[in-house]
């Protein structure tokens, strides 16, 4: 199983190739959140309310699940650069609550790994020990630059080998100053891992003055491309932001299909679109997947 959203490898028996088209026997999974105009989650829809398109070709939904409970692997990326120093104690308290809430409900196989990044990236292992991760954060002294894209790249590479749903949560002020990887490298790593990204961007004030709006825009685009969303938050709002992430993850639909009728000249990155019968609802999912990836 691949995952966050993963893709499974399935052997196809007696697959026939249609002239002019490729026959792909890989099961593609999409994790989908549905929201109404007020931004409220809608979790009561049936399969026939969804339509999936792969490279513009309508697909048959073979598997459908509401409120999927497949285990979560969450890479939590925490900015430990010098710019976070004054807010560090507040961030630690909020993250500690997040870890406890994550492991206190849901699937008993849910895990998380802590990654901290400044000019370097420190990678943790996946576990269920909330106290240990909070203590690891308390031992850190924020300093140096910000290797945000490097951290996303490494997290994506690690998540690629995890079963179940894969998620990247980022806590940062949005800057990237010392990465050796580019924005595109980070995006591709997350997409190849089928990881949903939730950047929690800590903003000093609500207007644009004093904010890294360019970094915020980059993170917002990363989130949308992977089926997640970015959450700007002032320090008092951190608990709310983490609660919203958990709410999203606990209310996901899982749709799966075998790609059929895909043109031979389809791009390596297959664009995917999910439509709903009800025009007042919006589906939130990843924008596609890489067709050359072994599943």
Domain boundary assignment for the chain: 7-68+252-290, 72-250
What is the residue-level pLDDT of the chain in tens, covering all 295 positions? 333 333 333 333 333 333 343 444 589 999 999 999 999 999 999 999 999 999 999 999 999 999 998 999 999 999 999 989 999 999 999 999 999 999 998 899 999 999 999 999 999 999 999 999 999 999 999 999 999 999 999 999 999 999 999 999 999 987 899 999 999 999 999 999 999 999 999 886 555 555 567 788 899 999 999 999 999 998 889 999 999 999 999 999 999 999 999 999 999 999 999 999 999 999 999 999 998 765 4
| Number of residues that this document lists for the chain | 295
Token pair listed for 123: 């990678």
Q: How far apart are CA 286 and CA 278, in angstroms?
A: 20
Angle in degrees, 0-180, between the axes of helices 88-104 and 238-250, rounded to the nearest 10: 20
Q: Are 31 and 285 in contact (CB under 8 A)?
A: yes
Q: How far apart are CA 125 and CA 147, in angstroms?
A: 19
Token pair listed for 47: 């399969």
Q: How far apart are CA 18 and CA 154, in angstroms?
A: 39
Secondary structure class of 193 (helix, strand, coil): coil
Q: Is 114 left (phi over 0), alpha (psi -120 to 50) or beta?
A: beta
Token pair listed for 213: 């709006």
Fold of 72-250: Rossmann fold (3.40.50)
Q: How far apart are CA 69 and CA 61, in angstroms?
A: 19
Q: How far apart are CA 77 and CA 110, in angstroms?
A: 17
Per DSSP, 121 falls in state E
**Would the pTM count as exceeding 0.85?**
yes
Measured CA angle at 126 (ends 121, 131), to 5 deg: 90
Q: How far apart are CA 190 and CA 257, in angstroms?
A: 21
Secondary structure class of 138 (helix, strand, coil): helix
């Amino acid at each position: 199983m691949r995952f966050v959203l993963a893709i499974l490898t399935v052997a196809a028996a007696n697959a026939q190739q249609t002239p002019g088209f490729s026959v792909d026997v890989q099961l593609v999974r999409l994790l989908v959140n549905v929201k109404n105009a007020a931004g409220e989650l809608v979790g009561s829809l049936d399969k026939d309310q969804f339509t999936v398109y792969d490279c513009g070709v309508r697909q048959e939904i073979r598997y459908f699940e509401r409120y999927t409970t497949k285990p979560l692997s969450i890479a939590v990326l925490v900015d430990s650069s010098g710019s976070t120093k004054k807010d560090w104690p507040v961030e630690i308290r909020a993250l500690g609550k997040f870890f406890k809430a994550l492991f206190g409900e849901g699937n008993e196989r849910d895990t998380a790994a802590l990654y901290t990044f400044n000019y370097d990236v420190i990678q943790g292992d996946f576990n269920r020990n909330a106290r240990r991760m909070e203590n690891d954060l308390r031992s850190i002294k924020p300093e140096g630059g910000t290797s945000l894209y490097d951290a996303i790249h490494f997290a994506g590479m690690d998540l690629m080998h995890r079963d179940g749903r894969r998620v990247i949560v980022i806590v940062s002020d949005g800057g990237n100053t010392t990465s050796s990887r580019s924005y595109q490298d980070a995006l591709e790593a997350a997409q190849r891992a089928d990881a949903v990204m939730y950047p929690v961007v800590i903003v000093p004030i609500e207007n644009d003055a004093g904010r890294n709006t360019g970094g915020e825009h980059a993170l917002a685009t990363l989130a949308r491309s992977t089926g997640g969303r970015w959450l700007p938050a002032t320090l008092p709002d951190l608990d709310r932001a983490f609660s919203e992430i958990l709410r999203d993850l606990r209310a996901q639909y899982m749709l799966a299909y075998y790609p059929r009728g895909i043109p031979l000249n389809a791009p390596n990155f297959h664009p995917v679109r999910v439509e709903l019968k009800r025009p007042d609802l919006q589906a939130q999912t990843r924008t596609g997947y890489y067709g050359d990836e072994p599943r």
